[in-house]
């Protein structure tokens, strides 16, 4: 009986997770690589500018509750929108959106996107640099307004 339950659990819980990643066809790989690198090249400066605008939003906001929301979610939402641009570009080549979990966490988007970036040998140095930049800005924002976050 225990073996039957183990097999049942494997079939219905583990196998679907193996089906989530569908590689981009080899004949489209070069085109995908070119397009995703272009998206990264154009969207990183836009996202950095939007992150810088979060500082202006916080300073302009009068309501303390809204300031706290902007501090906690402003930069994170910009990272999310950046990754959604990458997901949108990937969606043209594979059905990645079918396997995305619901929610507003960019961590799930990173996990879904990384296999495509790795398989197509797309350098993630600009993405890592962008994430480092956004983390640094988030720390600065939290330090500057630490009195609100207590």
Q: How far apart are CA 29 and CA 34, in angstroms?
A: 9
pLDDT of residue 75: 95
Q: How far is CA 17 from the centre of its chain?
A: 19
Which among 124, 140, 148 has a CA at the least distance from the CA of 51? 140
Q: What is the pLDDT of residue 1?
A: 59
Tokens 């995703």 sit on residue: 36
Q: What is the pTM of this model?
A: 0.81
Collect the ranges in the chain with pLDDT lower than 50. Answer: 14-19
Domain boundaries, the chain: 2-144
What is the radius of gyration, based on Cα positions, of the chain? 19
Q: Are 91 and 109 in contact (CB under 8 A)?
A: no
- The alpha carbon of residue 62 and the mean position of all alpha carbons in its chain are separated, in whole angstroms, by 30
pLDDT tens digits, residue range 19-53?
Answer: 477 888 889 999 999 999 999 999 999 999 999 99
Determine the pLDDT at residue 4.
52
């Amino acid at each position: 009986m225990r073996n039957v339950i183990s097999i049942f659990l494997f079939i219905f819980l583990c196998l679907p997770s193996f089906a989530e990643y569908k590689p981009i066809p080899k004949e489209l790989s070069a085109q995908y690589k070119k397009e995703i690198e272009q998206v990264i090249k154009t969207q990183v400066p836009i996202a950095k500018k939007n992150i810088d605008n979060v500082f202006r939003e916080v300073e302009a906001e009068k309501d303390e509750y809204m300031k706290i929301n902007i501090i906690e979610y402003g930069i994170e939402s910009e990272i999310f929108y950046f990754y959604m641009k990458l997901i949108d570009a990937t969606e043209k080549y594979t059905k990645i959106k079918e396997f995305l979990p619901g929610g507003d966490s960019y961590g799930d988007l990173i996990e879904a996107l990384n296999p495509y970036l790795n398989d197509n040998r797309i350098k993630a140095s600009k993405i890592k640099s962008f994430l480092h930049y956004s983390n640094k800005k988030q720390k600065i924002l939290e330090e500057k307004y630490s009195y609100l976050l207590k």
